[in-house]
Structure 1
Amino acid sequence: MSKKQNKLITKEILNTAIKGAFLKFDPRFMVKNPTMFIVEIGFMITLILSLFPTLFGGDDQERIYNILITLVLFITLLFANFAESIAEGRGKAQAATLKQSKKDFKARLIKNDGSEEMLSASKLKIGDIVLVQAGELIPNDGEVIEGAASVDESAITGESAPVMREAGGDFSSVTGGTTVLTDFLKIKILVGAGESFLDKMIGLVEGAARQKTPNEIALNILLIVLSLSFLVVVVSLYPFIQFLNVNLPISWLVALLVCLIPTTIGGLLSAIGIAGMDRVTRFNVIALSGKAVESCGDVDTMILDKTGTITFGNRLADEFYEVEGIDKNKLIRACLLSSLKDETPEGKSIVTLASKMGFQCNQEEIKEVIEFNAQNRMSGVNLKDGTQIRKGAFDTIKVYIDEMGGEIPSDLEEKVMQISNLGGTPLVVSQNKEILGVIYLKDTVKPGLKERFAKLRKMGIKTLMCTGDNPLTAATIAKEAGLDGFIAECKPEDKIEAIKKEQAEGKIVAMTGDGTNDAPALAQADVGIAMNSGTAAAKEAANMIDLDSNPTKILEIVEIGKGLLITRGSLTTFSMANDIAKYFAILPAMFSVVLPQMQILNIMHLATPQSAILSALIFNAIIIPLLIPIAMRGVKFRPMKSEMLLLRNLGIYGIGGIIAPFIGIKIIDIPTAWFLGILGV
């Protein structure tokens, strides 16, 4: 996913939006937005009255005024269509970049007899085995069943740094359209032609696959009800006015209807929804549904893995603790010798720490390296002088020393518990039959997380950590990170139970995962975010995929979801508040013809009924493009309690929505009245 497409509007997007705005005048499209469809019907009526002003008993002198109203209604529709077209244009610009990666090319199919056949990648079927060598494109989504290679995924993620993909484990999933840089991969195809992850991404960012979210549907129903209610009111006014023998132009009634119905939010509603998914996509996250993005804004509980999400995941040596009666220098030297040929992150960190303390050893002293394995659960070295150095878990070394006939130091367990209580991992070190001490391996909490979790707490979001660590270690990490709770010694089924428990209380739950064992929990969560580096099962179960494979990004995704809800609510509030000022502009002007006493409500002192109606319509039209940047970028989210957030937005968009039209309509009325005077209207 290209990260260069950050401008709100580029020349290409603008050209696409202008063309799309005119195409959307098709009634078959407009009927999908009932509020704006009513405006289009009004436009058609005033257009007919511009050509035949006496059609409904009007005066021929009304022609010019009808033309002006028709022009303003046309501009209103154009701006509303333009808003949606810009949002779609941004998605199509991203899709164009992705389509450059989607080309038909030859794939190397491995047949059942072991022979190879070159065929079009589009002809591959689910279950086919393909061989991809260095420099070749991966033909479709699949799973590595043999080999390990460096893969360039920049076409999908926008990141130039290659990633490793290998058979087995949680990094075996590969995406069609990415390039193998080194070695080879034997891949089992998991999807059919046109169903790849890249195909889904193109459909989603283009907007073709976007479905309206539940909240968007609910708001749309409200707008339909309001629009139809006002339509009935205005239509019923016509016979009433005829009964009073008052000549009120039909175009005035059309203008009244357009100003009464919520055209501002009606014109921006689809654009807000499209832009919400667009913001998530630009954050390098693919939302497989609009509902997932919206659900992010309603999240009550976040369930996070410890390793890689809350902590860096690399246990690094932080200190050496000698047991009673042992010289610390002897302990450090033994730790260094046992780790000189240990290629694990823990082993390298022990060497680094000892070197910083000024210790050096010669590898030539080492006769044999004892690798860690699941059977002995410890590692170490045998020196040429017969010395045996081992390091491992407390229980393992304890059994080892017992078998050797050695003694367990009285303060060993105390030091092990001390490290565990600090949230670290104790690694016990022995030399021959003697235990020398303990290495403190520390899994560091990522900086800044405590402050971010505090922000989530202000929003009313509870954070839970899942970890396989013991309760003491889990409690220490949870406290250091500022979490609300934790689940220690957590198994995959425990995650599902935790999610179900929260959901049973009516809460919306979000979680991250990347492994096959995370798939059930990701499917159960309301917002499941899978890592792009994870397994195909995890990505299939989730409803969002993070292309950067950064588990902590869930925090930003929640903010984007909340921003979407706030944007929609703020602009709806602003639109409804606008109507109050428009009522004071258009109703006194219109009904003062029937009831002169209504003129007392002309608190804006607008020049004439004609200028008042036209000014209200013009403001109604120009406010839509002025709000497009807010709809596209979203209202900035500020972490605070819902009550404070509601009051703040009511103050800005509610009161502001009332004041702005009073000022705007009055300013527009001055040149409008002058222009109408020149025309003699």
Structure 2
Amino acid sequence: MTLTETPAPAGTPFTRRTRRDGPTSTGRAGAISVRQLVAALPGALRKLDPRQMWRNPVMLIVEVGAALTTLLAICEPFLGGPARSGGSAVPPTFTAAIAAWLWLTVVFANLAESVAEGRGKAQADSLRQTRTSTSATRLDSYDPATDPSAEQSPAHPVSSADLLPGDTVIVVAGELVPGDGDIVWGIASIDESAITGESAPVVRESGGDRSAVTGGTRVLSDRIVMRITSKPGETFVDKMIALVEGASRQKTPNELALNILLAGLSIVFVVVTLTLNPIAGYSGAAVSVPVLVALLVCLIPTTIGALLSAIGIAGMDRLVQHNVLALSGRAVEAAGDVTILLLDKTGTITYGNRQAREFTAVTGVDAAELMDAAARSSLGDPTPEGKSIVDLAHGLGFRHGDTEIGEVIPFTAQTRMSGLDQPDGSSIRKGAGSAVTKWVQERGSIDDAVLRELDDCVARISELGGTPLVVAAGRESGARRILGVVYLKDIVKAGLAERFAELRSMGIRTIMVTGDNPLTAKTIAAEAGVDDFLAEATPVEKLALIRREQEGGNLVAMTGDGTNDAPALAQADVGVAMNTGTSAAKEAGNMVDLDSDPTKLIDIVRIGKQLLITRGALTTFSIANDLAKYFAIIPAMFAGVFPGLAVLNVMQLHSPASAILSAIIFNAIIIVLLIPLALRGVRYRPGPASSILSRNLLIYGVGGVIAPFIGIKIVDLVVALIPGF
């Protein structure tokens, strides 16, 4: 016989709230204002220091060229004025104008990086407020066996700056957590809004994967005993501040490779430029140094050289806006190349709070008896599953009254069941079918018909994607018997099938990892729309799965929050640890999700792909727009000696001097115009690589050719209005 209650509408118990504001809110990604540019200007000027510029070889060449032309501009009045270039006269202010715009080119390049860095400072300032030195109550000695709550342990107040790893402290309601650590006793409501921007408090408790607490958060209720795990100045908040300010950002392998390519191209064009004047001299077309510098700056890929660092910083900043901290730039890029996504079932695929849906009694047992036993054994069960059993029973008429509960038997991984020993000598157990069956058989046997009926019921619930909870009862001195099964329903999150289909279109295969039996795992996997699943997964099996996929040439991402997830998080190319997880998990991963939302892996992959596509798109644009500069400068340099080159002046530029200056001005201005795109990122649309490449070449390749022709012509019309040009 089955007792069931009409369930609440789907999603009712699982109302989710979207965070609208908080310390990470930065407005529209990529949008910049004049105020931001002005605020970033001092930082851009400081970056003119050659000791900083050497990290960007392309822009270092531009800076050297700017310094050289500035020196020539100062010396020209004493050397008889500017020299003719390529057989054409140039205005007296030509060299000074070239020098000025070369300096602006370098400043604009630094401005892009400075703006990108500045976008994280608001987050860093908010975090820094949580790092204030606070007082802490440190225990002189602590024995968890004799005094777990530290009620009798001697303690004295100290500064949080004096706490060392291994120190044990007491934190009560209203106090700030003095440092990163793990709760060793107690349970409390914690306000983490200063870290996550989420106003809703969270519950942290000892003995599980939700025992980690972060320095700077505030205890709102109760009292906890915690053990410090961080050194002074090395707390999680300190790491976050360094990360969002970009102080410890490392260049990724792809970024280093692109830097080497750009440096190589720059060296080649330096050699070409240095040899150009001696060769041209044989034809009587000697070229002045300012014109050679202008040619070099227009030849080398200055646009991508100026924006490359900003693109990388902005990629990490976009993760910060999603409340994800990437502990390395390498992780962000790896996310863009991920081909395998491992997702834990509980909390990721499903909501994680399994809900009781029905009681099914075996033959010979009244359904009311099963309901009563399951409800009584769950009265002292603090888990969401236990509470849902009591709620379902109450809805069906169960009333506990004032009867004493008895001794609650907690669930353990070893026994795989929990229960209740009542004052009248009777016992109730509920848990995994094999564990409860073994408990019953310790005092006798089970009828074969009951076993078959039980197996059929367990199989039916498993096929539905639920979790069967077998209930049994007996007296201490008497036999024990199976009463029936409680159906716990795993609720699959809405919209996941569509998101997984989107990942599939990106070429990413999704694998659900769960400790459930294969039948349950198969049902949930089919409902959620994942490509594959790993059932009855242990930490060793998770690690082995990741290694197998990596050996096959795949990049793997996974999420986790427990100590048992640490080996797999460390092995994965992208390991996203939940902020609510253990310290071991956060240390093992290369990203930390402050909101502890495992489905955010999908957003992380999208941001990683967006970073790679943005870099590729702007590199394509940078190389393509050099073509127009060649058509502007080459004819201008030699048209006076070789009139036939005038046919290449397709833009009909006003004069050789205005053509060269217009190309340099456009080269500088385009950097500023592309800063918002570098910060916002190129929009990523799922599709095959060939489609993405075609779109990139069509928009940024063709666009990179057309835009400079238009831009240089417009600038030339303005420059032509200046006397002498």
Equivalent AA in structure 1 for residue 246 of structure 2 = G
Q: Where does residue 661 of structure 1 map in the other structure?
A: 708
Matches of 2:64 and 2:649, distance apart in 1 = 29
Matches of 1:626 and 1:52, distance apart in 2 = 34
Equivalent AA in structure 2 for residue 39 of structure 1 = V
The answer to which structure has the higher helix fraction is 1
Q: Where does residue 46 of structure 2 map in the other structure?
A: 23
* Structure 1 residues 186 and 596, CA gap change in structure 2 (3 angstroms): same
1:360 aligns with 2:397: yes
Equivalent AA in structure 2 for residue 415 of structure 1 = C
Q: 1:291 aligns with which of 330, 334, 349?
A: 330
SS of residue paired to 2:706: helix
SS of residue paired to 2:92: helix
Q: Where does residue 177 of structure 2 map in the other structure?
A: 138
* Structure 1 residues 132 and 406, CA gap change in structure 2 (3 angstroms): closer
Q: Where does residue 35 of structure 1 map in the other structure?
A: 58
Judge which range, 512-521 or 581-590, deviates more.
581-590
SS of residue paired to 1:363: coil
1:339 aligns with 2:369: no
Matches of 1:376 and 1:542, distance apart in 2 = 29
The answer (yes or no) to whether the contact 2:419–2:427 under 8 Å persists in 1 is no
Equivalent AA in structure 1 for residue 417 of structure 2 = R
Q: CA deviation at 1:349?
A: 3.2
Equivalent AA in structure 2 for residue 331 of structure 1 = A
Aligned length: 672
Q: Where does residue 603 of structure 1 map in the other structure?
A: 650
1:96 aligns with 2:125: yes
SS of residue paired to 2:184: strand
Q: CA RMSD in A?
A: 2.9
Q: Where does residue 65 of structure 1 map in the other structure?
A: 94
Q: Where does residue 420 of structure 1 map in the other structure?
A: 462
Equivalent AA in structure 2 for residue 472 of structure 1 = L
The answer (yes or no) to whether the contact 2:374–2:389 under 8 Å persists in 1 is no
Unaligned stretches of 5+ residues in structure 1:
none
Matches of 1:232 and 1:55, distance apart in 2 = 29
Equivalent AA in structure 1 for residue 245 of structure 2 = E
What is the CA deviation profile of residues 599-650 of structure 1, one whole-angstrom value per residue up to 9, with x for unaligned ones? 1222222222222222222211111111111111111111212221111122
Matches of 1:193 and 1:389, distance apart in 2 = 49
Matches of 1:642 and 1:172, distance apart in 2 = 43
Q: 1:263 aligns with which of 272, 282, 302?
A: 302
Q: CA deviation at 1:130?
A: 2.2
Matches of 1:382 and 1:111, distance apart in 2 = 40
SS of residue paired to 1:570: helix
Q: CA deviation at 1:108?
A: 2.3
The answer (yes or no) to whether the contact 1:297–1:564 under 8 Å persists in 2 is yes
Q: Where does residue 6 of structure 1 map in the other structure?
A: 27
Equivalent AA in structure 2 for residue 96 of structure 1 = D
Q: Where does residue 77 of structure 1 map in the other structure?
A: 106
* Structure 1 residues 552 and 335, CA gap change in structure 2 (3 angstroms): same
The answer (yes or no) to whether the contact 1:16–1:85 under 8 Å persists in 2 is no
Q: CA deviation at 1:296?
A: 0.8
1:554 aligns with 2:583: no
1:197 aligns with 2:246: no
Q: 2:134 aligns with which of 105, 108, 112?
A: 105
Unaligned stretches of 5+ residues in structure 2:
1-21, 143-152, 475-479
Equivalent AA in structure 1 for residue 70 of structure 2 = L
What is the CA deviation profile of residues 65-121 of structure 1, one whole-angstrom value per residue up to 9, with x for unaligned ones? 122222222221221111111011112222111111111233222224953333332
SS of residue paired to 2:249: coil
Q: CA deviation at 1:136?
A: 1.8
* Structure 1 residues 180 and 367, CA gap change in structure 2 (3 angstroms): closer
Matches of 2:181 and 2:481, distance apart in 1 = 52
Q: Where does residue 500 of structure 1 map in the other structure?
A: 547
The answer (yes or no) to whether the contact 1:532–1:545 under 8 Å persists in 2 is yes
Q: CA deviation at 1:9?
A: 3.8
1:534 aligns with 2:589: no
Q: Where does residue 622 of structure 2 map in the other structure?
A: 575
Q: CA deviation at 1:581?
A: 1.7
Q: CA deviation at 1:318?
A: 3.2
Q: CA deviation at 1:461?
A: 1.2
Q: Where does residue 545 of structure 1 map in the other structure?
A: 592
Matches of 2:364 and 2:337, distance apart in 1 = 58
Matches of 2:565 and 2:172, distance apart in 1 = 31
The answer (yes or no) to whether the contact 1:378–1:393 under 8 Å persists in 2 is no
1:278 aligns with 2:317: yes
* 1:670-681 matches, cutoff 5 A: 670-673=717-720, 675-676=721-722, 679-681=723-725
Judge which range, 188-197 or 10-19, deviates more.
10-19
Equivalent AA in structure 2 for residue 184 of structure 1 = R
Equivalent AA in structure 2 for residue 453 of structure 1 = F
What is the CA deviation profile of residues 265-316 of structure 1, one whole-angstrom value per residue up to 9, with x for unaligned ones? 1110111111111111121111111111111111111112111111112221
* Structure 1 residues 638 and 376, CA gap change in structure 2 (3 angstroms): closer
The answer (yes or no) to whether the contact 1:366–1:381 under 8 Å persists in 2 is no
SS of residue paired to 1:577: helix
Matches of 1:189 and 1:378, distance apart in 2 = 32
Matches of 2:64 and 2:205, distance apart in 1 = 60
* Structure 1 residues 368 and 126, CA gap change in structure 2 (3 angstroms): closer
* 1:313-324 matches, cutoff 5 A: 313-321=352-360
1:510 aligns with 2:557: yes
* Structure 1 residues 281 and 613, CA gap change in structure 2 (3 angstroms): same
Q: CA deviation at 1:565?
A: 0.7
SS of residue paired to 1:230: helix
Q: CA deviation at 1:591?
A: 2.4
* Structure 1 residues 71 and 332, CA gap change in structure 2 (3 angstroms): farther
Q: TM-score, normalised by structure 1?
A: 0.91
Matches of 1:128 and 1:56, distance apart in 2 = 75
Q: CA deviation at 1:559?
A: 0.8
Q: CA deviation at 1:363?
A: 2.8
Matches of 1:55 and 1:168, distance apart in 2 = 84
Matches of 1:601 and 1:338, distance apart in 2 = 89
* Structure 1 residues 499 and 203, CA gap change in structure 2 (3 angstroms): same
Q: CA deviation at 1:229?
A: 0.8
* Structure 1 residues 265 and 63, CA gap change in structure 2 (3 angstroms): same
SS of residue paired to 1:63: coil
Equivalent AA in structure 2 for residue 419 of structure 1 = I
Q: Percent identity?
A: 54
Judge which range, 107-116 or 140-149, deviates more.
107-116
SS of residue paired to 1:149: strand
* Structure 1 residues 518 and 56, CA gap change in structure 2 (3 angstroms): farther
* 1:582-593 matches, cutoff 5 A: 582-593=629-640
Q: Where does residue 150 of structure 2 map in the other structure?
A: none
* Structure 1 residues 590 and 287, CA gap change in structure 2 (3 angstroms): same
Q: Where does residue 250 of structure 1 map in the other structure?
A: 289
Matches of 2:647 and 2:34, distance apart in 1 = 49
Matches of 1:145 and 1:380, distance apart in 2 = 26
SS of residue paired to 1:507: coil
The answer (yes or no) to whether the contact 2:66–2:102 under 8 Å persists in 1 is yes
The answer (yes or no) to whether the contact 1:532–1:547 under 8 Å persists in 2 is yes
The answer (yes or no) to whether the contact 1:336–1:351 under 8 Å persists in 2 is no
Q: CA deviation at 1:431?
A: 8.5
* Structure 1 residues 104 and 413, CA gap change in structure 2 (3 angstroms): closer
Q: Where does residue 306 of structure 1 map in the other structure?
A: 345
